[in-house]
Chains A and B, each alone.
Chain A
């Protein structure tokens, strides 16, 4: 067996003679790992951020909405309240309105009426930046999101104590009418960021009583239920299913996070498969480069055999040229993939509405190893046939070859 350092030196020597061709082949090899690292690194970074945002929203929260004309009322709240897994519960009214801002622009806002003391449990991490939560009886006082009191550029023009005029759509005698509603700002939330499933930044939160008296709604839009712990969410969801069957839709954030994670995994596998295709470039590149090289160096092979190199030695020497190109290609590819992923991730990803995700790419050792091993596999696979052909060359014919 030849010394490994000598093998590398001889392979390098041969590649250097065909600089341009070697460089182009190396470029072809680099494409696969570059694409894989850049694409998967970026998406995994985004996905991680999305999942952690979903998880931050509160793994304990379950929301039920009526379906099939079922009407949710106080009776339902009382039934659910006694479930052993329930920590706290509040029904809510939900409506959409239009807010005219002092600068003349109008924005669509969501109006909730609910038990305001549960606000920081439903929207985990929500903080009152200014003012306070109004008592339940002051049903025209509100807690509002950050977007309500500021312009797009962040200039603030409403303060605690100011009044807002909102146009709310209301059904009257089967007709949609716009109703003017005036609410006082009692508290202002810090900017929150996420929009799913509640976008606090563009919402107005009123005490529960406002739903009937101010918004003119009769039935609850839904019920927020907080489970005692995240582990109990599944059993809570099961209990609700048993009680209501198809009459309500149950949304559990834990469930959603799980679904999203599953989708992400599928997406990741898909991206992996797609970027694997670019490894075919490397395979054909190496194969054609090495086949050409073998034919061109027929005489050299004969000389090597005359000097005492065996068929196996020739095989190893030629194979190492492929491996050497692959290693250089992988290093170039992974490096540019990492750099590329930072370039892609530099731009925020816009999901829905104002939900944008900014995230560092996630370059894992596992990702690098996958790109590396796939490249090496392709390099060896592409190089083995030409190397085998070189080793099987009959020395005499090789030497007589002009």
Chain B
């Protein structure tokens, strides 16, 4: 049971637009993610990949169904409890890096530690460890995100996702905005992190990216239509 890091049971997600139009972003998803998994979720644009990732990461509550993280039913948790869970157990990586431009690299990576309640003097060491793991250079510490290339920013974003040492890394098109060389660096980093024990899930519509995972899941119209084990 403990090895079931994420479990989705009959999860559906319906968006109702302001005009009252219903969109079924997810339909009846059942999925178990085990510790150490490296999964890629594939599917065409607008078919529910991001929604699935957000539901798994508790950023989004399902309309129906249940989401378990480390065996805990998250649908019954309060906003504060969910936030703490995300802070401690889940790291998000986005296509657009989503760093905060007015803050330095150090301040960006520090953000999850503030929430976690780590005393200030202990933060620097944790930040540096995360930077080492994600291939960042310490000379960036006092720079702003806009002074870095896209590939460098994405590595900072990975460091920020890693800094609380979460079990799960959820990546939404992490290479979508990168040139092939930077993309390779990022993917290798993710692969290395998986080898270090993190459970990694990547959403992508690029088959080349998807193929570095150990397992591929195909999604269409909000439903899982198949999976393929690569290793």
A2 within 8 A of B: yes
Report Cα–Cα, A396/B15, bound state, in Å. Answer: 12
* A187–B194 alpha-carbon span in the complex (Å): 108
Interface size on B, residues (CB 8 A): 32
Chain B residues positioned under 8 Å from A13 (CB to CB): 102-103, 107
Report which of A10, A16, A299, A310 forms a contact with B98, defined as CB distance below 8 A: A299
Chain A interface mostly: helix
Flag whether B222 is at the interface (Cβ < 8 A).
no
**Interface-forming stretch among A176-184, A217-225, A300-308?**
A300-308
Q: Mark B80-106, 1 if CB is under 8 A from A, else 0.
A: 101111111010101000101011000
- Number of A-B residue pairs with CB-CB distance less than 8 Å in the complex they form: 71
For A17, A299, A308, which residue has the most chain B Cβ atoms within 10 angstroms?
A308
Shortest Cβ distance from B54 into A: residue? A396
**Best-buried of A300, A311, A399 by chain B (most CB within 10 Å):** A399
Q: Which residue of A lies closest to B89 (CB)?
A: A308
Q: Say if the beta carbon of A173 comes within 8 Å of chain B.
A: no
Complex formed: what's the CA distance from A14 to B101 in Å? 11
Determine which of A300, A308, A396 lies in contact with B87 in the assembled complex, contact meaning CB atoms within 8 Å: A308
Q: Which of A302, A306, A400 has the most CB of B within 10 A?
A: A306
Interface of B (DSSP majority class)? helix
Q: Is B111 an interface residue (CB 8 A)?
A: yes
List B contacts of A308 (CB < 8 A). Answer: 83-88, 90, 112, 115-116, 164
A305-B83 CB under 8 A given contacts A395-B59, A396-B54: yes
B115 touches A14 (CB 8 A): no
CA distance A127 to B175 in the complex (A): 96
The closest CB in chain A to the CB of B86 belongs to: A308
Let me know if B114 is at the binding interface, CB within 8 A.
Answer: yes
Q: Which of A303, A305, A313 contacts B100 (CB 8 A)?
A: A303
- Docked pose: A309 CA to B88 CA in angstroms: 11
Question: Which residues of A have CB within 8 Å of B88?
Answer: 308
Asked if A309 and B59 sit within 8 Å, CB to CB, the answer is no
A231 to B101, CA, bound (A): 74
List CB contacts (< 8 Å) of A169-226 with chain B. Answer: none
* Contacts A/B (CB < 8 Å), 13 sampled: A10-B114, A17-B102, A300-B100, A302-B98, A303-B100, A304-B111, A307-B86, A307-B111, A307-B160, A308-B83, A308-B86, A308-B112, A308-B115
The 6 closest A-B pairs by CB, nearest first: A308-B87, A310-B83, A17-B102, A306-B92, A308-B86, A6-B114
Known: A3-B114, A307-B87. 11 other contacts (CB 8 A): A6-B114, A16-B102, A304-B111, A305-B86, A306-B59, A306-B92, A306-B98, A308-B85, A308-B112, A396-B54, A396-B60
